[in-house]
Amino acid sequence: MPEISLSIGALARSVGCKVQTIRYYEQIGLLPAPARTAGAQRRYGPVQREKLSFIRHARELGFPLPAVRELLVLAEQQKSGCAQADQIAHRQLDAVNRHIAMLNSLRVELERMLQHRRGYRTGECRVIATLADHGLCRGEHHGQPTQD
């Protein structure tokens, strides 16, 4: 029985990601280069679909690309122990917990800013004043990188 062959667009739809994402994962080596038709069209089989699904799920859980790469290597070594995968998951859980703590700090600071509003004009606005003067801000979120 021949393997099912998907175009890049069909693969993207079947896994729920963008075509550009698949190309990027191929470019950085997370996904191997696919077979190509005589017309140079990429063709993907069930193994590539499964790997892409794995990557997508790991990314949804917030794993950074280097950790995804490590997990993919471990997934291919089916007879090795789970200790390394557990360590990677613990690192991600720690990162999630730090992020939750930062978000809680941000929530508290935003609530505080809104509770102490002084006026209706921009010159009297507590939100504007707090953003302009870090001394008025009591949050523990300073120094955290923003995502622009």
Tens digits of residue pLDDT in 3-14 = 678 999 999 999
H helix or E strand, kind and range, residue 79: none
Listed in sequence order, the residues at least 6 apart from 23 whose beta carbon sits closer than 8 Å to its beta carbon are: 8
Q: Report yes or no: 58 and 71 within 8 Å, Cβ to Cβ.
A: yes
Q: Report yes or no: 12 and 22 within 8 Å, Cβ to Cβ.
A: yes
Say if residue 11 is exposed, middle or buried (CB neighbours under 10 Å; 0-12, 13-18, 19+): buried
Tens digits of residue pLDDT in 72-131 = 999 988 887 899 999 999 999 999 999 999 999 989 988 887 877 666 666 667 777 777
Determine the length of the chain: 148
